[in-house]
Chain A
């Protein structure tokens, strides 16, 4: 079951090209080193100083590190998703679709899969440090697993949002720049006040030992914990973004084909 999408991705020429580009681009290496250094700093600062059990405060290390991971990964994924990572920055989506004559769905799947390699690398790099933090905060491995899932789903959905923005506003770099930052501030900060169920950092804390401030939602007789609702909402956000991006790619492909036909007709005429 898992093998089939992997095999299909491997055979996707866009993913293949993206994988090669990812492996050779030095930018990701320097990003990942900076990322690990930032997380390590947070870990060392919040590491318990002495062996006291502070009865008045819950352990902080795990949530501090998880929150930092989410804050960094959310920004990286919205902004890097909205940045063209294959080919030249002067190459538009239309040019790509002309150069690589693949169906729109295949193109987008390949592009998303290749783009998510960076997310997977960063997600994996934070894993050992989060284990250390969980161990000194009394968090069981179940909480750690849920936390890692929240990070993956939320960061992944932001990556899809970024890609959707790129497909929609690729020519308007200023608008893209503004939208990316506005969306990031909303996801990480604003949603905490306006729609707490949408905030990944609160969801991460909700899935830990900390008090479950997100509460729960009863849907069709099923009571869902706050973090579950956050994951579901982010899956919907990611899915919706993918559909918009797919529609845009289809539209660009169809419009390009129509333009070519018109030009051919004009040439023949």
Chain B
């Protein structure tokens, strides 16, 4: 009996101990790819958690400080994900977070409810900053020389095992190029492989260099990407083609290079039957094949390798004014959402309707009062009439005479440009979002793509905006805690990659082009048109699941005025049946994408343009806050 009582007391005491006291968690967070950081980009934060206590269900968050006090857009964003740590668990979590300055640390916190289990602050002063980060998937460390090749661009080389490559394309945001030599890509997980492809399609550079283990270049994952078919190894006497291109002598000693044959792409050095340096476009990115093992002597000591790597990496040496202006907030006023707010996006009842309403109201009252003065004995009846007039006009004013947009908690706009990336199955989506709070409140935005990058955010309006955003990256990407006072606007710029909903293929022929547009998405592609040689060819609507094939003959079509701006011409040709307010969204998108280029200039490369009359970045937030949106689909056609 006494023993039972003791057990009961012990159980009671244990039950009263809070969970945090039982949980023993150690956490270690690391910044960047092996500590290398690129400011203004999304960088990787890797968090290792070890639970030596009881089971923990909590939230792991990484908080970064962005914006500037001077511009008034200083804010924090906490990227959170739920974590489950069974007893003894040791887990690694990777976040990609935006880092724009070194003044404030990155804060990593593990908490259950309100209890903080572990917290670490990562001082950005101690990080290895770079303007260019090159990832080496190599067996050796022979890329170190690249740090000294680029004099104007501070470059860091990071050697990663394939298992450490990002699982998410946003993890590559700080990376300029990936160099593969003597390492198999077959070991990558499906997520890593998809992330690599998405990053390449969005502008990354992959360099596959020759190595004695040339068979690795013939493995399926790399073979599908390479611009060449690798045949084997061959011995050559010097590299006269490199000497000719870079005008730097090369010792004529025997050396081994990878023997290959061009399949698609552009030969930079060598011939199509014996290419030494080849590149191919992959969406907005490039894949470069270098037949030579750059780590082998005498190539590794060759004086021309600086020029060669400049050619391979195509590093911009100029100042990125667009980025500088964006950082200074000078581009905020030209943001599509700001332009949209310069358009009459609301639909107030007209003065005529209101004047009619008021005249009718006053007229009826005057009539009743006049009758009242004529028939004093029946004045009670007319007073009843006055009450009835007030009630009827009140009810009428309540329902149809209102501005719908202002009578909901928030106006949410999503104008997105979807660029179909040629030769890939990807589309790059650039979302411009605006949440305008009429009456104030807290809002959440859920995104269609789980892998969305939040590039920039700022606020405008009379009311103030909350400075603590929360981005949930578990499953679906969502931004929570968008706190806005009445009459405040928060603008977001986002980027995401998605599987292309529209497949475009084009074949040139003697008199023009044969184009095939296949809509694999769920929404109809409306107002599809091709701009080619200053002429516009309307393809019309392409229903979901349908394919349209058309032959375009520029000589048979009348040209639009070459002096007219492309966006104006495309706006004129937009689907006619659309809502007039939607036209403002379309106008803003066209202006943003095509700028002030004239039709003749814009059509140097033929392109397809069309419309998805629905938001492509945001999911419908809630029935109470419907998002108005339109998506411009653009595909540059490679002939």
Contacts and interface: CB of A to CB of B under 8 A. Distances in A.
Interface in B357-414: 357-358, 361-362, 365-366, 369, 372-373, 376, 379-380, 383, 386-387, 390, 393-394, 396-398, 401-403, 406-407, 411
A142 B341 CA distance: 27
Contacts of B379: 23-24
Contacts of B9: none
Contacts of B369: 26, 29-30, 32-33
A29 B406 contact: no
Interface residues of B, number: 49
9 contacts: A53-B346, A124-B387, A132-B354, A132-B401, A135-B402, A136-B348, A136-B406, A140-B407, A211-B462
Interface of B: 341-349, 351, 354-355, 357-358, 361-362, 365-366, 369, 372-373, 376, 379-380, 383, 386-387, 390, 393-394, 396-398, 401-403, 406-407, 411, 436, 438-440, 460-462, 486-487, 489
Contacts of B462: 55-58, 211
Size category of the binding interface on chain A:
35 or more
A137 interface: yes
Contacts of B406: 59, 135-138
Nearest to B383: A23
B392 to A, nearest CB: 9
B139 to A, nearest CB: 57
Contacts of B436: 53
B354 A124 contact: no
A135 B403 contact: yes
Given A50-B344, A58-B462, A24 B376 contact: yes
Interface string A57-94: 11100000000000000000000000000000000000
A179 interface: no
A216 to B, nearest CB: 16
A125 to B, nearest CB: 6
Nearest to A127: B394
A140 B355 contact: no
A33 B366 contact: yes
A52 B357 CA distance: 23
Contacts of B438: 138, 209
Contact of B487 (A58, A121, A131): A58
Nearest to B400: A135
Contacts of A175: none
Contacts of B387: 124
Interface string A185-223: 000000000000000000000000101000000000000
Given A137-B406, A138-B406, A48 B348 contact: yes
B373 A136 contact: no
B397 A26 contact: no
Contact of A53 (B345, B355, B486): B345
A32 B383 contact: no
A55 B341 CA distance: 8
A6 interface: no
A267 interface: no
Given A23-B383, A53-B411, A55-B341, A47 B394 contact: no
Given A29-B369, A131-B394, A135-B401, 12 more contacts: A33-B362, A43-B354, A44-B351, A44-B355, A48-B348, A53-B436, A56-B462, A124-B390, A136-B403, A138-B439, A209-B438, A211-B462
A131 B345 CA distance: 22
B332 to A, nearest CB: 12
A57 B461 CA distance: 8
B354 A44 contact: yes
A51 interface: yes
Contact of A47 (B351, B365, B407): B351
